[in-house]
Amino acid sequence: MVTTVVFDADETLVDLRPAVTGGLIAVLEEMGRLNPAARISLADLESDWHLALGANAAAPVWEIRKAALARSLDRAGLGAHLDEISALFFARRFALTRPFADTLPALAALRQRWTLGFATNGNSRAERCGLVGEFAFAVYAHCDGVPKKPAPDFYAAVCAAAGADPAQVVHVGDNPAHDVVGAQRAGLRAVWLNRRGERLPADVVPDAVVTTMTELPSVLADLSGEADLPPFIRRCSGGTSSIDV
Ligand SMILES: [Mg+2]
């Protein structure tokens, strides 16, 4: 029986791209003020992110972001401003971070039936992304020795926080390797949230696929085996979940 549903943060619950872009635009504006001769573009900043990520993908994401900004500032002779520019980026990034429109209604429905958790590799703390009070527990990579997804120990930490066996936990996320393969290898079931109509690698087989959070109550009922029960029994055993109406 499924007791717990755990969610990835970025691009699953949280619309990260506008927030990161807004943070980078703030950085560009400040770089232009500090050095009007600098000719750095948004594409340069994004390129530096990918270079920094490739150089040290296992590092905490905030470290990767800071390393990326250091590369960009060095392009403009502004390396001495790294700390203040990093603070500017993160302030703007978090100020702009919002849940997707379907996130909060779906969480409210799912909470009627399942324990909900939050589990991320990234910088998106629930309380800084419009998700305060939404989860029974949260697991963050690089906190308390937890490695990044897709490491099995990340998902072991999720199950420990949930107080559940892996077979009782469903993980929902957008990243096939991290959120689907990683979770399944640790014994959890995995739902792939494909918001952008992307193609799934042929060797990745999620337990279910959804394109919106709105689909989750019925999909999770299926994974719990409840869909095979008559509606009356589902109502009596399942409380007030939206799967019943
Ligand atoms: Mg994600």
In the predicted model, what is the mean pLDDT of residues 5-18? 97
Q: What is the pLDDT of residue 111?
A: 96
Q: What is the pLDDT of residue 244?
A: 29
CA 174 to ligand 1 center in whole angstroms: 5
CA 9 to ligand 1 center in whole angstroms: 6
Residue 241 has pLDDT above 80, yes or no: no
CA 77 to ligand 1 center in whole angstroms: 33
CA 80 to ligand 1 center in whole angstroms: 32
CA 242 to ligand 1 center in whole angstroms: 25
In this structure, are 75 and 114 located in the same domain?
no
CA 164 to ligand 1 center in whole angstroms: 23
Domain that holds residue 38: 16-96
Domain count within the chain: 2
Q: Domain end: 48, 74, 96, which one?
A: 96
CA 193 to ligand 1 center in whole angstroms: 9
In the predicted model, what is the mean pLDDT of residues 77-90? 97
CA 190 to ligand 1 center in whole angstroms: 13
In this structure, are 103 and 41 located in the same domain?
no
CA 176 to ligand 1 center in whole angstroms: 9
In this structure, are 165 and 89 located in the same domain?
no
Are the CB atoms for 179 and 190 separated by under 8 Å? yes
**Strand stretches in 48-206, DSSP E:** 98-99, 115-120, 137-140, 169-173, 189-193
Angle at 67 between CA 62 and CA 68, to 5 degrees: 95
Q: Which residues contact 115 (CB under 8 A, 6 or more apart)?
A: 3, 4, 5, 136, 162, 164
In this structure, are 60 and 44 located in the same domain?
yes
In this structure, are 31 and 86 located in the same domain?
yes
Residue 36 has pLDDT above 60, yes or no: yes
In this structure, are 135 and 188 located in the same domain?
yes
CA 37 to ligand 1 center in whole angstroms: 37
In the predicted model, what is the mean pLDDT of residues 222-235? 58
State which residues have CB under 5 angstroms from ligand 1, the bound ion.
8, 10-11, 174-175
In this structure, are 91 and 121 located in the same domain?
no
Integer Cα distance of 137 and 130 in angstroms? 16
CATH of the domain at 239: 3.40.50.1000
CA 11 to ligand 1 center in whole angstroms: 5
Q: Domain end: 79, 96, 113, which one?
A: 96
CA 239 to ligand 1 center in whole angstroms: 30
In this structure, are 107 and 87 located in the same domain?
no
In the predicted model, what is the mean pLDDT of residues 157-184? 97
Residue 215 has pLDDT above 60, yes or no: yes
Residue 21 has pLDDT above 70, yes or no: yes
Q: What is the pLDDT of residue 224?
A: 86
pLDDT in tens, 179-201: 999 999 999 999 999 999 999 99
In this structure, are 103 and 33 located in the same domain?
no
In this structure, are 82 and 178 located in the same domain?
no
pLDDT in tens, 89-112: 999 999 999 999 999 999 999 999
Are the CB atoms for 90 and 23 separated by under 8 Å? yes
CA 72 to ligand 1 center in whole angstroms: 25
How many contiguous H segments (helices) and E segments (strands) does the chain have? 9, 8
pLDDT in tens, 134-148: 999 999 999 999 999
Q: What is the pLDDT of residue 226?
A: 60
In this structure, are 77 and 153 located in the same domain?
no
Burial of 195 (0-12, 13-18, 19+ CB in 10 A): middle
73 band by pLDDT with thresholds 50, 70 and 90: very high
Q: What is the pLDDT of residue 225?
A: 80
